[in-house]
Every structure is written in C-alpha cells, then in structure tokens.
Structure 1
Amino acid sequence: MRLFYYLVIKPISLLPWPVIYGISNLLYIVGYKIIRHRVDVVKQNLANSFPDKSPSELKQLQNDFYRHFCDIMLESFKIFSISQKEANERFVALNPQILKPFHDKGQSVILVGGHYNNWEMLAVGLDYYIDHQSVAIYHRMKNKFMNDKALKSRGKYGLKMISRQEVKEFFAESKDLTITIFGADQSPSIAKKVYWTNFLNQETAVMFGVEKFAKEKNLPVIFGGITKVKRGHYEFKMEVLIEDPSQYAHGEITEAHTKRLEKQILEDPQYWLWSHKRWKRKRKSEDA
C-alpha cells in the first residue's frame, strides 16, 4: 500500500480537476463496463430497494451510480492534497447558524448522515464553518501506513478523528463542545446491539450508537445532508431531528434518522453507496 500511495494516490491528488475527471471517465469504462466491479451487488441492492421500477429504469440508475462512484473515488484521492481554500469553495455549509443555539448553551451535538454524495469532502470542509469541534468516528484500516495517511488527510483542517474502539471513552471524558459525526448506514455485521427496521424496502439492522449516546449524554441529534451541485462541488445542509432525546421512546431516534436518510436517498438514489453490502446481516431468532 505504501507503493500504491506514492505511485498512484499522491500523484493523482496533485493533478488539475479536469484531468481528475478525465481519469474518472476512463475508470467508469474500465471498472464498470470491463471489470464490472461489484455489479451483482449493486444490481441486487437496486432491485430490492425499488421493486416498482422497470428494468430500464434500474439499469439507468446503475449507470448513474457508477459514474458518480468513479467521481467520488477520484475526488477522495484529491483530498490528500486539497488546500483549505479549495475545500471551502467546493464544500459549502448552507446553514451553520443552526448550531449556534446549542453552542451558546454549552451543548455538544451529534451529527448523523450516510454515505451519500462525497462524505470525504465533509471531513476537510465542515470545521471551517462551525464553532463546535468537529469529531468523526472511523474504522481502523488493517494497513497502518494507509490508516495514518487517511487520518492525517481527513484531520488536516480541524476535524478530530477517533476510532470506534475509543468512542465510549471519548464521550465519557471529552470536555470540549463537539459535533460528533456518525455515519449510520453501514452494515453492523459484528455489533451486538442493533435496531431492526424497514429501510429501502428491506428489513435492515441499524447501528444503535446515535440513539445510545444521544440519550446517555442528552445530546441533540442533527441530520446532515450533502447535495451535489455539479462535479466536485457540494452543499451541506443541517436540520434538527431530535432536540431533547429524553422525550423519545426506545427506537424512535433511530427510526427518525434512518427515515430521514431514506428520504434523501429516494430523492436522488444514484448518489448513495449502492456497492456496499448493506444487507449482509440477516435477522436471527435471538434478535427478536
């Protein structure tokens, strides 16, 4: 991976944006049309999620997804060398003032969203706009070199990174006013505590961390949605989902943020991460 970083990722990250998108166009042909990277997974996920769509509609969605997927892959390489000025131009937070009442009260918050549009842009772009300290939870990579490079890249403009193994300790000890980012749409394949609901027309296990820490620490829950303006340009808008977690029964907070993400995906489905094996965990009798 060290060699791949210095021979591929880093050189690509230094290229001008038009060249980046030229490579993305080529990657679309090679990765999707020739190698057919995870095409079976994407095809099945789309068919299960949209049973009412025709084969031609599903095929168009699949094509649109792969074009976008290639873009964000190359954009993620670009993040390794992006300047703060460029990050601020390409990732614009539309309503950071929504956080001010919580900051004025000395209250930390949880920011929840999904792998929709370019979440890597969020890492380098968010902290500039807000007064809270931005914190992101990450899954450690097996390769230490790439793990360190990714942490350095994502955290270079203010974002603080904590691993999943450190989350409990972080919430117990942190004295800062923080906005902690949860990506709540990954498959909780090894998590013991999950919440089962219907998401995109399928029985789905949802990680329970957002609700758990919101209730334990009395943290308001904010939904963050990224929209694509054009290639390489994104806007970010927040909305308050849960202001007082203590007023909600078990599962209601998880339902709220899951349904809000589903609403965003249904508006423009091609921008979600359909190549992820989201539904690999199946419900067992002990989950009842």
Structure 2
Amino acid sequence: MIKTLIKSTRITWASKNANMFLLALTYAYFLGIPINNPFQILGGLILVSALWGALYTLNDLTDLEVDRRDRQKQSRAFIENEVDKKIILLFFGLIVAGVFIISFVAFPSSFTFLMSLMLLNQLVYTLPPIRLKDSNLAPFFSTATNSVLRLASCAVLLGDVFLVPLSVYVFMYLAGMGTYLMYKSRSRDASIVGFMGGGLLLYMLYSGDMNIIQFAVAILPSFLAAVPLYLSLFTNKDYMFRLADILYHQVAMVFFMFCILVIIF
C-alpha cells in the first residue's frame, strides 16, 4: 500500500518544478544577484514538489473510473493496486497539511500564497462540481497556469516575483498550453498556440528578456519531450508518450538539479 501511495505522487514529475526553479535562478545569475538562501530555495523546491505529489495523488483518485477505461493509463498507481479511498484522502491531507505548516513557519508569505494558488487551481481543475478538466477551459488552467505558478514560486524566494520578466511568464503559459494540447492530440489548436509562442520568443530574444542560455533552459528540455508528443499525433502513440515521459521526467531532471546546485552554491 505504501509503495502504491508513493507511486501515485509521480516523483519523477518533480522535473517540472526543477525546470521552472532553474529558469528563475538563471535570471538571478545573469543579473549578478547574490543568492544568500540556497537551502531555502532547495527547501522551496522540495515543498512545491511535495505539494504537487499530493495533488497528483488526488488527481488519480478523482480520475479512477475514467483511467480504468484508458489503456494508456493502466499503469497508474490505484489501477494496478487498489487502495481504500479514505486512506488516499488521509495521505493527501497529511502531505498538504505538512507542506503548508512548514511554509507558514519558515518561508515568505508570498511563497505560501503562491502555493495556495497552486492548490486552489488544481482543486478547481480536478474536483466536481466545477472540474475544469472536463470543460473547454481545461487548456487554460492545467499545465499553462501551473508553469507560471512554479516559476513565480522560485522568483519570490529570490526576492522579487518580477525578477523574471512578464513576457517570460506569458511565454511559459503559452508553452504549457501548447504541451497540453499536443498531449490531448489537438493538433490544430496546438499549432496556433505554438505560432503565438514562437512570435513571443522572437520578441524576448530581440528585447533581451531572454538570452540563449535561458532559452535552452526554458525550451530545449520541453522540446525534447514535445517532439515525440507531436509525432504521437501521427504514429505509435503509446511508444511516443513513454519516450516523452522518459526524456522530460527522468533525463532532464538530472540536468536541472545539477545546474540548480551549481548556481546556488
């Protein structure tokens, strides 16, 4: 049971948090801002990742009946091994309570506020009666919003949420939305969002809001996953989804953590 609960947190998906933390850290690095709280930043990354682990657990519980009918999701934790719903909810509640208690005590209020937004966004996205996941608004409140909040959560630990330019937040929002649309095989909508994101990227590179290294941090790891996701629209969907998962959630995670440790220490 414990292994099943841990699996439901999708630990490797913490790479999404590490990616956004690293991007925020590059702005401090290139602006020459000294990082005097490296352990708080690492702690913040751990708290954000723990919160999202709990939210993924809740997501798997609320999607249980739907996932059972989806052959691509038969390896999800609670489908492979059944766990009592009360135990799952207790597990979710304990993690969330622990995360927010630590955040209230040891972290800036702005960081706690952003984590509250993450929690609220995901609850509205996942739970009935609203459950935006099943509405046409889903692309606007999934990966898109989450990417912005993850990025901002590190920026506030560095002292200023606008350390990261506003255009970068918008770009990451569009990039997250495009990834979601590709995952849902909505190629036309994904292409439109991709075109908008490409135009904004050119502006950021021209204006100096993003340099080549920051571009690599923001785009290349996700691009590695986006290629098989895009190809999944045309061929061998199951294999391409597995390849995208390995590239972004495992291979890239090692790169993200190495760069984070180099910058903050």
**TM-score bucket of the superposed structures, by smaller chain:** under 0.3
Give the structure with the higher percent helix: 2
TM-score, length-scaled by structure 1: 0.26
Larger radius of gyration: 1
Task: Say which structure, 1 or 2, has more relative contact order (CA 8 Å, 6+ apart).
Answer: 2
Give the structure with the higher percent strand: 1
